[in-house]
């Protein structure tokens, strides 16, 4: 795999690079956010390993910029910033995984390998239609009634989770685990808040509601009754 490490600590970058290289990966290093972003956009990397506390441009902004640019590389944060709120911010920015320093090189290698091995979705799974809602998972395009709907990365990920489970209840626990890597509802309002924001854009006034609350369980998206 081709891997880019965006890390300003030279010793950490060297250790990670040596470990990944010794396992057969092609590794490059960027030491600041701006240059890391430039390399990641054009480099066709399989996986990006990104620190959060970077000079010039912090890791959150790097990841957000990459996802806006439709860079689909697997992204893992490798950072000393490890609180629950910090991890939530990391996942909401568009990262796929989050590993807190100090870390074991073996665990990092396993997580990077897992990201790089994610199979692409079959082509027929890229486009979903429910009523007059169309979602293209490749282009990250959402339309309702032919009108383009602009979603933030976390809103799109929430919609993707719901639509891939269309017709089935997606529990709050599932949402917490899939979107933020949390096992328990430590932030009781975070799921409700994010679903409400998504509804404001998907189920607009005059539209037939597609996202429904299943009391005590979670949420479901399906054809209107």
Q: What is the DSSP code string of 77-127?
A: EEES--SHHHHHHHHHHT-SEEEESS--HHHHHHHHHHHHTPPPPPGGGSE
pLDDT digits (tens, 9 = 90+) for 170-206: 988 888 877 777 666 555 588 899 999 999 999 999 8
Number of domains in the chain: 2
In whole angstroms, give the CA distance from residue 130 to residue 51: 39
User: What is the average pLDDT across 139-161?
Assistant: 90
99 pLDDT band (50/70/90 cuts)?
very high
Q: What is the pTM of this model?
A: 0.59
Chain centroid, CA 147 distance in Å: 25
Which of residues 154 and 148 earns the better pLDDT score?
Answer: 148
Considering the domain architecture, whether residues 11 and 108 belong to the same structural domain is answered as yes
Considering the domain architecture, whether residues 61 and 147 belong to the same structural domain is answered as no
Q: Domain containing 68: what range?
A: 2-116
Residue 54 Cα distances to 57, 71, 95, 201, angstroms: 6, 20, 16, 33
Final residue before a domain boundary, out of 116, 146, 173: 116
Final residue before a domain boundary, out of 93, 116, 139: 116
Considering the domain architecture, whether residues 40 and 73 belong to the same structural domain is answered as yes
Considering the domain architecture, whether residues 66 and 100 belong to the same structural domain is answered as yes
Considering the domain architecture, whether residues 127 and 25 belong to the same structural domain is answered as no
């Amino acid at each position: 795999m081709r891997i880019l490490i965006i890390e300003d600590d030279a010793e950490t970058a060297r250790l990670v690079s040596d470990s990944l290289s010794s396992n057969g990966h092609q590794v490059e290093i960027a030491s600041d956010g701006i240059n890391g972003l430039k390399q990641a956009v054009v480099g066709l990397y399989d996986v990006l390993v990104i620190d959060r506390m970077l000079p010039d441009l912090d890791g959150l902004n790097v990841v957000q910029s990459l996802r806006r640019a439709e860079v689909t590389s697997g992204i893992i944060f490798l950072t000393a910033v490890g609180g629950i709120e910090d991890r939530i911010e990391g996942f909401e920015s568009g990262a796929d995984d989050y590993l807190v320093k100090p870390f074991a090189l073996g665990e990092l290698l396993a997580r990077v390998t897992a990201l790089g091995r994610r199979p692409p979705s079959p082509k027929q799974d890229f486009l979903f239609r429910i009523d007059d809602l169309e979602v293209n998972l490749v282009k990250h395009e959402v339309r309702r009634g032919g009108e383009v709907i602009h979603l933030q990365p976390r809103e799109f990920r929430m919609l993707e989770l719901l639509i891939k489970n269309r017709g089935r209840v997606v529990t709050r626990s599932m949402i917490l685990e899939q979107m933020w890597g949390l096992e328990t509802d430590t932030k009781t309002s975070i799921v409700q808040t994010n679903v409400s924001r998504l509804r404001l854009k998907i189920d607009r006034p005059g539209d037939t509601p597609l996202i429904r609350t299943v009391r005590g369980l979670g949420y479901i998206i399906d054809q209107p009754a």
